């Protein structure tokens, strides 16, 4: 069982690192999708079927498309993928953001009570999952929904912005 | 209502689907290599040479190797060599005949100009379209043996035009025969009494000086 | 439901299981499990591979008949060997890869697409005992595997290094993403009503008959019929079938994202398209048409997999019939149909289904009220949205001509 876990971890982390290190942005996106698939495989290994398939449906199916569209629509040419001269301050802000995310994650992991001996994982059916989401976690679900709606409206506003005076061929 | 057009369309296709099984009128395709459609009379693709007699095609070609078609052919796909000797044609007259008559169907553009210019109705348009050959240099080059088709074949392909051509040729031939007969008679008459009768009296009417010779 | 479960099993019903046990019975326990899995994979691939082959033939024959011509009839009896001749032709064709193409992705795209579309076959219950993999959230698995095919289409378009292929791939993605939404929304009411995401559970919930006459299939409820229609329209679009086949419109786009593909890779794309069509039809049968359930109690002696195959083939013939009928849509008409018509309709349908399951206890005259309300909830939005969709359309009037 552990060998499978190690394999999944290797694939996930390896593709993620390759996605960051690669020069070809499109390859990076596809590797990222592969990394997400690895995460889904991990969920599957952990017995969380619903989360695994939802991960594939949402991340590999939808989010990767959004990333692809973003990459294709914003990048002007093949060679402009490298960051510009403002690299140092950019690197600093990247490290700070990464440290903040890592701090939140580590804090959450350390504070969550982990069983000393991991017994067999409880079989959570989809029905229970739905009841949980609609019951105790309804507020969180609503908050996420509002956030996504705001993001969607923001995207529409940005896309439908005033375009007069900006010829389309001259971005 | 939305969707009614969709249902109508589905009904139409279903009708055609079912109809193709029991209604032969609907089912218009022919199974080509086994069945062949009758080509329309006006269809034409490559020229052929008309011969009067199916038994002796080379001996009865209407072509007299005048080479008008060779000169008029826009893509120049016709090649003719005149014969050195003369042979009697269908009407028994001594004529030059084509020793070589080649048409390169790879070059021919089916314009029918050779047919239009031929004064002897010797070249006509064929309807054969299965000309595929395995060798493009020799297989598509038709010589006079391959080109010669009897007049009856021409009648099959283009009955109206062939009937017209036959009428015309018959009247021409008749006229020629009559003229020849008249000329022969005149000659015979002239030969019978050459010294006794002088030429017609010239003083009656002032004739125009050059009288065209009777052809 | 219980009636279906307790019927005495005929020999034919158990025949596939007996056959499987006869093949793998001599193996020890862990190896037998593996052999059984492999055997079901082989069976699925063989059955659907043959179905693909003869579906192409049936499609060409039917299209031919609709257009009043015989269709392929030269190879074998009535052209029965035509698919194999086509296969040999495709295999012996030259495989051209553009020099500037991304070689790896160009190769991986058809493989990924085919692999993902084969994955979807795993969770469809083909018969009472014929489910390759039983999953608790099988429906979600099915649509997750289907959604990932979009990535393969993008890979094909981008790896070709051809601006037309790339643009066509983007158009294909726009279409697939647009229709993913109504596709997913249309089956949510089914999950709501049956309370499970497992395909076997959904089929089992549709067992039994009302008055021994009307089966409890979901398509026989007002919201089920509407959901089935939405599902089928979205399935047409998701599998790139006519009239939604503009990602690869041969006459206009020289096959879109497949422009740079030739030979067997091209055939793989086609295979994936037909597999996707079969899988979506199979899912529609499972979700709405009662899966392998027989339509009448007296017909139960016919084995369940025969019923499934019959329903599947009916839907596939429907796909072909629609292809023979409808011309291709324009891209703006296509996205308008998805966003302005199908998505709102599917959302309203969710509400209708909720009403239906909340009022399941109503009886007597209230039952009539329940039907009336549900029918109004289904037909009203359809008419209103349909009017909005067709507004301003109609025969064009030429003012200056």
Chain B neighbours, 3+ Cβ pairs < 8 A = C
CA A114 – CA C143 distance, rounded (Å): 33
Chain segment C353-377, per-residue pLDDT in tens:
888 888 888 887 888 888 888 888 8
> What's the gap in Å between the CA of C237 and the closest CA on chain B?
16
> Does residue A29 sit within a domain?
yes
> Residue C216, CB half-sphere, CA atoms under 13 Å: how many?
17
B6 to chain C: closest CA residue: C326
Instruction: Verify whether the Cβ–Cβ distance C140 to A50 is below 8 Å.
Output: yes
Choose one of A47, A76, A105: the last residue of a domain. Answer: A76
A66 and A5 fall within a common domain = yes
Burial class (CB in 10 A: 0-12, 13-18, 19+), A32: buried
- What is the per-residue burial (b if ≥16 Cβ within 10 Å, else e) of C242-278? bbbbbbbbeeebebbbbbbbebbbbbbbbbbbbbbbb
CB-based contact B173:B91 (threshold 8 Å) = yes
> Does residue A40 sit within a domain?
yes
pLDDT classification of A165: cutoffs 50, 70, 90: low
> Does residue A39 sit within a domain?
yes
CA C83 – CA C54 distance, rounded (Å): 7
Across residues B103-131, what is the average pLDDT? 88
CA B147 – CA B143 distance, rounded (Å): 6
Contacts of C322 in chain B (CB under 8 A): 10
Q: Does C69 touch chain B (CB under 8 A)?
A: yes
> Does residue A8 sit within a domain?
yes
CA B44 – CA B51 distance, rounded (Å): 18
Residue C291: strand, helix, or coil: coil
Instruction: Verify whether the Cβ–Cβ distance A54 to C195 is below 8 Å.
Output: no
> What's the gap in Å between the CA of C87 and the closest CA on chain B?
24
Predicted structure pTM score: 0.77
Domain that holds residue A154: 123-161
Contacts of A126 in chain C (CB under 8 A): 136-137, 196-197
> Is the ipTM here above 0.85?
no
pLDDT at A96 over 90: yes
Structure-model confidence comparison of residues B124 and B91, the more confident one = B124
Q: Does A149 touch chain C (CB under 8 A)?
A: no
What is the total count of domains within chain A?
2
Q: Does A48 touch chain C (CB under 8 A)?
A: no
> Does residue A28 sit within a domain?
yes
C385 to chain B: closest CA residue: B2
> Does residue A111 sit within a domain?
no
Across residues A13-24, what is the average pLDDT? 86
**What pLDDT does residue B193 have?**
64
> What's the gap in Å between the CA of C389 and the closest CA on chain B?
8
Across residues B48-55, what is the average pLDDT? 84
A64 and A134 fall within a common domain = no
Contacts of A125 in chain C (CB under 8 A): 136
Judge C/A contact: 3 or more CB pairs < 8 A. Answer: yes
Share of chain B above pLDDT 70, in %: 88
> What's the gap in Å between the CA of C395 and the closest CA on chain B?
13
Contacts of B9 in chain C (CB under 8 A): 325-326
> Does residue A135 sit within a domain?
yes
Contacts of C387 in chain B (CB under 8 A): 2
Contacts of A57 in chain C (CB under 8 A): 140, 143-144, 147
What CATH code is carried by the domain that includes residue A69? 1.20.120.1200
CB-based contact C260:C165 (threshold 8 Å) = yes
CB-based contact C168:C188 (threshold 8 Å) = no
> Does residue A12 sit within a domain?
yes
């Amino acid at each position: 069982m552990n060998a499978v876990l190690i394999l999944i971890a290797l694939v996930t982390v390896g593709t993620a690192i390759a996605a960051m290190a690669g020069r070809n942005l499109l390859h990076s996106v596809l590797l990222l999708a592969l990394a997400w698939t690895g995460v889904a495989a991990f969920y599957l290994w952990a017995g969380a079927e619903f989360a695994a398939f939802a991960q594939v449906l949402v991340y590999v199916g939808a989010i990767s498309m959004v990333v692809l569209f973003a990459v294709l629509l914003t990048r002007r040419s093949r060679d402009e993928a490298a960051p510009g001269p403002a690299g140092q301050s950019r690197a600093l802000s990247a490290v700070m953001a990464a440290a903040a995310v890592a701090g939140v994650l580590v804090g959450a992991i350390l504070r969550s009570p982990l069983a000393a001996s991991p017994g067999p994982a409880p079989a959570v059916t989809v029905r229970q999952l739905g009841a949980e989401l609609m019951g105790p976690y309804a507020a969180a679900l609503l908050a996420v929904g509002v956030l996504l709606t705001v993001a969607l409206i923001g995207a529409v506003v940005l896309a439908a912005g005033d375009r007069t005076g900006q010829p389309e061929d001259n971005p | 209502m939305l969707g009614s057009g969709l249902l109508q369309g589905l009904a139409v296709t279903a009708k055609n689907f079912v109809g193709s099984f029991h209604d032969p009128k609907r089912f218009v395709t022919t199974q080509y290599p086994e069945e062949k459609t009758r080509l329309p009379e006006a269809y034409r693709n490559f020229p052929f040479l008309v011969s009067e007699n199916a038994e002796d095609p080379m001996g009865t070609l209407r072509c007299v190797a005048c080479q008008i078609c060779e000169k008029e052919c826009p893509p120049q796909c016709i090649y003719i060599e005149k014969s050195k000797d003369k042979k009697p044609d269908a009407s028994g007259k001594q004529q030059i005949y084509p020793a070589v008559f080649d048409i390169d169907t790879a070059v021919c553009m089916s314009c029918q100009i050779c047919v239009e210019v031929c004064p002897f109705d010797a070249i006509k348009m064929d309807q054969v379209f299965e000309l595929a050959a395995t060798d493009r240099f020799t297989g598509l080059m038709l010589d006079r043996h391959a080109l010669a088709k009897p007049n009856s074949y021409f009648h099959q392909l283009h009955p109206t035009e062939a009937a017209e051509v036959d009428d015309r040729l018959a009247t021409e031939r008749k006229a020629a025969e009559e003229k020849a007969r008249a000329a022969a008679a005149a000659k015979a008459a002239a030969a019978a009494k050459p010294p006794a009768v002088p030429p017609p009296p010239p003083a009656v009417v002032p004739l125009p000086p050059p009288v065209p010779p009777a052809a | 439901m219980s009636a279906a479960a307790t019927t005495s099993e005929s020999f034919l019903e158990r025949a596939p299981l007996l056959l499987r046990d006869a093949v793998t019975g001599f193996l020890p326990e862990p190896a037998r499990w593996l052999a059984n899995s492999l055997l079901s994979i082989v069976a699925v691939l063989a059955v659907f591979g043959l179905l693909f082959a003869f579906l192409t033939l049936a499609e060409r024959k039917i299209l031919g008949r609709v257009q009043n011509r015989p269709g392929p009839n030269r190879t074998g009896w009535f052209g029965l060997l035509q698919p194999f001749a086509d296969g040999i032709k495709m295999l012996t064709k030259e495989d051209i890869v553009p020099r500037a193409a991304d070689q790896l992705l160009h190769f991986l795209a058809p493989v990924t697409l085919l692999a993902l579309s084969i994955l979807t076959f795993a969770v469809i219950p083909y018969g009472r005992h014929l489910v390759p993999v039983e999953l608790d959230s099988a429906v979600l698995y099915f649509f997750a595997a289907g959604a990932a095919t979009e990535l393969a289409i993008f890979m094909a378009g981008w790896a070709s290094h051809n601006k037309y292929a790339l643009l066509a791939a983007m158009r294909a993605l726009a279409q697939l993403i647009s229709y993913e939404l109504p596709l997913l929304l249309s089956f949510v009411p089914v999950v709501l009503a049956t309370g499970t995401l497992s395909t076997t559970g959904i089929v089992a919930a549709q067992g039994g008959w009302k008055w021994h006459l009307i089966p409890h299939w979901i398509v026989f409820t007002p919201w089920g019929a509407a959901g089935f229609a939405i599902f089928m329209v979205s399935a047409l679009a998701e599998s790139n079938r006519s009239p939604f086949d503009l990602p690869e419109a041969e006459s206009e786009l020289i096959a879109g994202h497949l422009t740079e593909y030739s030979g067997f890779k091209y055939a793989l794309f086609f295979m994936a398209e037909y597999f996707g069509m079969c899988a979506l039809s199979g899912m529609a049968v499972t979700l709405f048409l009662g899966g392998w359930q027989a339509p009448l109690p007296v017909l139960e002696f016919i084995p369940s997999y025969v019923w499934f195959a019959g329903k599947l083939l009916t839907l596939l013939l429907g796909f072909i019939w629609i292809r023979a009928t409808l011309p291709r849509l324009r891209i703006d008409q296509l996205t308008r149909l998805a966003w302005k018509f199908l998505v709102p309709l599917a959302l309203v349908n969710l509400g209708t289904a909720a009403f239906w399951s909340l009022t399941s206890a109503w009886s007597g005259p209230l039952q009539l009220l329940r039907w009336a309300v549900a029918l109004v909830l289904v037909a009203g939005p359809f008419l209103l949205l349909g009017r909005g969709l067709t507004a301003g359309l109609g025969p064009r009037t030429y003012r200056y001509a």
